[in-house]
Amino acid sequence: MSEFVTLTIDGKEVKAPKGATVLEAAKSAGIHIPTLCFLKDINEIGACRMCIVDVGARSFQAACAYPVSEGLNVITNSPKIRETRRVTLELILSNHDRECLTCVRSQNCELQKLAKELNVKDIRYEGENQEFPIDDLSPSIVRDPNKCVLCRRCVSVCNEVQSVGAIGVVDRGFNSTVSSPFNFALNDTPCVNCGQCIVVCPVGALYEKSSVEKVWDALANEDLHVVVQTAPAVRAALGEEFGYPIGTRVTGKMVAALKRLGFAKVFDTDTAADLTIMEEGTELVERIKNNGKLPLITSCSPGWIKFCEHNYPDMLDNLSSCKSPQNMFGAVLKSYYAEKMGIDPSKIFVVSVMPCTAKKFEAGRPELASTGYPDVDEVITTRELAQMIKEAGIDFMNLPDEQFDDPMGEATGAGVIFGATGGVMEAALRSVPYLLTGKDDENIDIKVVRGVEDFKEAELEVNGIKIKAAVVHGLGNARKLLDKIRSGEAEYHFIEVMACPGGCVNGGGQPIQPASVRNETDLRTERAKAIYEEDEAMTIRRSHQNPRVLKMYEEYFEKPGSEKSHKLLHTHYVARENYPEN
């Protein structure tokens, strides 16, 4: 049991656990203190000075970082406190690009909301407003320092959570900015495009490189057969953009909306996820049987792949050679599907809707064009899809539920759980016994690999073969595990890595929830619930039972790991320098 202390906040006696912050104690007492830089567990640095309170010290203290103590007397609301907060906010606004109407975060901006909350009517301290170039050279992420308020959430998430370290604060004082080392473009750094910086940004300083216009153009081009695939995590979060509670599954409406946007076919990436399990599961079984390179590490997450290429080039052989489901699907659409439907693959335009910004980078990898055409032509994020739906005037909430299209629309529960941490592992473990013995294990729910713990482990024994598996999510956790494997401290057969904390449901392309929501709700858990709900509702929940996948092997790929599948469904990796030479 934790110890409690008694303190006074605004004259009210409050009990709070020892070690809690004043902000937490106030919250528990129903007292709201404004915050800007604060993001629970990620950024608790007291930098923005919005949450200042009077604790009787010479100056005001940041409630988000100030620990409670017995007898502490806190005042959160006085004329002087309000004025100091407002002046600080006005100062921030005085050096901010205030073109709110055209800002990507208009109406979903924490700064805008705070200005309203603190009753800022006038900016009394105008002065030099810096102008920085916008960095839009990355295929995934755009940085606009003119919008940046230097809250450092992005810096914390990139350095502490992801251990990527592509951005930090450069220069000092009034000239401080968040930037890459030596002010390189983000594209010239070890940035893995995970987009976690985007989803924590309170303002419009970080956003995805939009493909919306390109998709509109393709849809308007009558020569093209424009098809779309949607990743499993998209359906678990898209509803948030239209006012649904977090964790609402909107699969049917999403499909209906995509059809109304004009896509010729609406497919489910889950189908390709099942295909991935067949290929990757077979790869695992073969590596175990033939003393191949172990552990085998999953390759679905493009952020993780780039991270590995930068930081663990010596371990590239551990990566599964399987393409990610997105690109497998693209390749299938431009080969098998093209043949089957009798469409020239050059006329097929594949759009992916992904919860992910790194998928944009992945789609542009030159090696991912095994049909001679890029597997995937354009990637839009969940947010961009919502934008298109709004732009097209589609009344999302009143759409009927519709089904994915044939012939590629069939998927299993195993495919859908790819969207959450542990999902790829669980899907694989549902199929590995069959791939090894031709028989299924009774157990279908492998709950030890679910959930948001940093590190999860599972063991499976099939015919005397023990398979030791580990699951990590968030690249900081991946780094810890990889270091242990490198040093020989840990040994596994199979590892699932997802770049984003919580997996794809919390990807960098997902709807942005403000800190006020994130601090109270674990998005990772809530959105994952929708995914597992869909899994439960499926009649087929093992990838190797997906009739469409089986048919594809029968009609086209022969068997997992065949020459054809290697040509179309597998890839290779390259060691990457962290920074350009010279």
Catalytically active residues are 280, 283, 300, 320, 359, 362, 367, 504
Query: By C-beta, is 77 or 88 nearer to other proteins?
Result: 88
Q: State the nearest-atom distance from the C-beta of 357 to other proteins, in Å.
A: 26
Q: Out of 14, 62, 417, 504, which residue is the one contacting other proteins (CB under 8 A)?
A: 62
Q: Are 303 and 356 in contact (CB under 8 A)?
A: yes
Q: State the nearest-atom distance from the C-beta of 208 to other proteins, in Å.
A: 27
Assign 153 to helix, strand or coil. helix
Query: By C-beta, is 151 or 356 nearer to other proteins?
Result: 151
Q: State the nearest-atom distance from the C-beta of 111 to other proteins, in Å.
A: 12
Count of CB atoms situated within 10 Å of the CB of 77: 14
Count of CB atoms situated within 10 Å of the CB of 174: 9
Write down how long the chain is: 582
Query: By C-beta, is 92 or 512 nearer to other proteins?
Result: 92
* Count of residues engaged in binding other proteins, rule: CB under 8 A: 38
Record the tokens describing residue 283, joined without a space.
Answer: 């790869």
Whole-angstrom distance, CA of residue 159 vs CA of residue 189: 13
CA distances from 503 to 3, 420, 422 (A): 35, 5, 8
- Residue entry with tokens 């009753």: 119
Q: Does 79 bind other proteins (CB under 8 A)?
A: no
Query: By C-beta, is 53 or 481 nearer to other proteins?
Result: 53
Q: State the nearest-atom distance from the C-beta of 65 to other proteins, in Å.
A: 4
Q: Out of 35, 76, 95, 211, which residue is the one contacting other proteins (CB under 8 A)?
A: 95
Q: Out of 17, 27, 40, 45, which residue is the one contacting other proteins (CB under 8 A)?
A: 45
Tell which phi-psi region holds residue 260, choosing left (phi > 0), alpha (psi between -120 and 50) or beta.
Answer: alpha
Q: Burial-class residue 488 by CB neighbours within 10 Å (0-12, 13-18, 19+).
A: exposed
Query: By C-beta, is 48 or 199 nearer to other proteins?
Result: 48
Count of CB atoms situated within 10 Å of the CB of 573: 18
Q: Out of 8, 10, 29, 67, which residue is the one contacting other proteins (CB under 8 A)?
A: 67
269 CB-near residues (< 8 Å, 6+ apart):
229, 230, 231, 232, 325, 326, 329, 352, 415, 418
Whole-angstrom distance, CA of residue 301 vs CA of residue 357: 11
Query: By C-beta, is 85 or 527 nearer to other proteins?
Result: 85
Q: Out of 16, 39, 52, 278, which residue is the one contacting other proteins (CB under 8 A)?
A: 52
Whole-angstrom distance, CA of residue 30 vs CA of residue 77: 13
Record the tokens describing residue 245, joined without a space.
Answer: 């509670």
Q: How far apart are the first and last CA of the chain?
A: 57
Q: State the nearest-atom distance from the C-beta of 60 to other proteins, in Å.
A: 5
Which positions from 141 to 180 touch other proteins by CB under 8 A, shown as an x/- string?
--------xx-----------------xx-xxxxxx----
Q: What are phi and psi of 485, to 5 degrees?
A: -70, -40
Of 279, 295, 260, nearest to 331 by C-alpha is: 279
Q: State the nearest-atom distance from the C-beta of 47 to other proteins, in Å.
A: 5
Query: By C-beta, is 60 or 573 nearer to other proteins?
Result: 60
Assign 311 to helix, strand or coil. helix
Q: Are 246 and 394 in contact (CB under 8 A)?
A: no
Would you give the distance in Å from CA 154 to the centre of its chain? Answer: 14
Assign 182 to helix, strand or coil. helix
Q: State the nearest-atom distance from the C-beta of 42 to other proteins, in Å.
A: 16
Query: By C-beta, is 195 or 204 nearer to other proteins?
Result: 204
Query: By C-beta, is 176 or 516 nearer to other proteins?
Result: 176
Q: Does 127 bind other proteins (CB under 8 A)?
A: yes
Q: Which range of residues in 48-56, 256-264, 295-303, 424-432 is near other proteins by CB under 8 A?
A: 48-56
Query: By C-beta, is 61 or 519 nearer to other proteins?
Result: 61
Whole-angstrom distance, CA of residue 178 vs CA of residue 200: 14
Q: State the nearest-atom distance from the C-beta of 112 to other proteins, in Å.
A: 16
Which positions from 96 to 125 touch other proteins by CB under 8 A, shown as an x/- string?
----------------------------xx
Order across the sheet with 4-9: list the strands: 12-17, 4-9, 73-74
Q: Which range of residues in 43-51, 330-338, 432-440, 467-475 is near other proteins by CB under 8 A?
A: 43-51
Q: Which range of residues in 62-70, 200-208, 334-342, 369-377 is near other proteins by CB under 8 A?
A: 62-70
Whole-angstrom distance, CA of residue 210 vs CA of residue 142: 9
Q: State the nearest-atom distance from the C-beta of 95 to other proteins, in Å.
A: 5
Which positions from 174 to 193 touch other proteins by CB under 8 A, shown as an x/- string?
xxx-----------------
Q: Out of 14, 25, 53, 92, which residue is the one contacting other proteins (CB under 8 A)?
A: 92
Q: State the nearest-atom distance from the C-beta of 81 to other proteins, in Å.
A: 8
Whole-angstrom distance, CA of residue 414 vs CA of residue 445: 10
Query: By C-beta, is 82 or 214 nearer to other proteins?
Result: 82
Q: Out of 7, 9, 60, 354, which residue is the one contacting other proteins (CB under 8 A)?
A: 60
Return the CA Rg of the chain: 25
Q: Out of 12, 18, 80, 559, which residue is the one contacting other proteins (CB under 8 A)?
A: 80
Q: Out of 5, 49, 246, 355, which residue is the one contacting other proteins (CB under 8 A)?
A: 49
Q: State the nearest-atom distance from the C-beta of 117 to other proteins, in Å.
A: 17
Whole-angstrom distance, CA of residue 527 vs CA of residue 269: 18
Q: Burial-class residue 45 by CB neighbours within 10 Å (0-12, 13-18, 19+).
A: middle
Angle at CA of residue 397, ends 396 and 402, nearest 5°: 70
573 CB-near residues (< 8 Å, 6+ apart):
305, 308, 309, 316, 319
Interface positions with other proteins (CB under 8 A): 45-49, 52, 58-62, 65-67, 80, 83-85, 87-88, 91-92, 94-95, 124-125, 127-128, 149-150, 168-169, 171-176
